[in-house]
Amino acid sequence: MGEAPRITVSDPGSGLSAFLSRFDSLEFNSLPASHFHSFGPSYSNFLRFSVPVEGLPLLDELFKAHGDFTSGFKGGVFLGNILMELLCVVLISLRDSSLDSLSKEKLLEWRGVVQDLIEAKFNLSFMLEYLHSLAHLLFQRQASRTLDVEIATDEEALARAHKALQELKVKKQ
């Protein structure tokens, strides 16, 4: 009959700790806002900054939930406008992404922007925590998919072994 099929089970946490180590390191954003989203020409005021109208509802929600996250920022309005636009593109990108479209690369890109904003004294540590939780979800989903594939493969191997066993039993009789 031959050797029994070898069954291996993936470690659900494999890769997560290495990714989180990179995620937690300081890597600044090197991408322009247009990499994430392109805004129309309309801008409006949010606090003391000029922001894309598309991002205004998301900034309002953030403000309601976390207060004035810009209060620590001491830069000028020009720099603040640029940084707020970056925040808007990340918020829109997050809003428009699904768990199925989530990737390690996207998480690292968003994290880079948020780190830039935190370095500029925007109080957005809650966003890093949220991205961290998304990383856990991403790896859980990947591990689940891997286990599903392994289960299907092992079930097929078991079915073949069962069939071979039945054939041997028939031959024995």
pLDDT > 70 in the chain, percent: 86
The confidence score (pLDDT) of residue 125 equals 93
Say whether pLDDT at 47 is over 80: yes
Mean pLDDT of the chain: 83
25 compared with 95, residue with greater pLDDT: 95
Q: Distance (Å, rounded) from C-alpha 131 to C-alpha 119?
A: 17
Per-residue pLDDT band for 8 (boundaries 50, 70, 90) equals very low
* Average confidence (pLDDT) over 141-161: 70
* Average confidence (pLDDT) over 152-156: 73
Say whether pLDDT at 109 is over 90: yes
DSSP for the chain reads --PPPP-----TTTTHHHHHHHHHS-----S-GGGT----S-EEEETTEEEEGGGHHHHHHHHHHH--TTTT--S-HHHHHHHHHHHHHHHHHHHH--GGG--HHHHHHHHHHHHHHHHTT---HHHHHHHHHHHHHHHHHHHHHHHHHHHHHHHHHHHHHHHHHHHHHHHH-
Per-residue pLDDT band for 141 (boundaries 50, 70, 90) equals confident
Summarised one tens digit per residue, pLDDT across range 66-107 is 999 999 999 899 999 999 999 999 999 999 988 888 888 999
Say whether pLDDT at 3 is over 70: no
* Average confidence (pLDDT) over 158-164: 77
101-104, long-range: CB within 8 Å, 24+ apart, which pairs?
102/134, 102/137, 102/138, 102/141, 103/138, 104/19, 104/135, 104/138
Per-residue pLDDT band for 10 (boundaries 50, 70, 90) equals very low
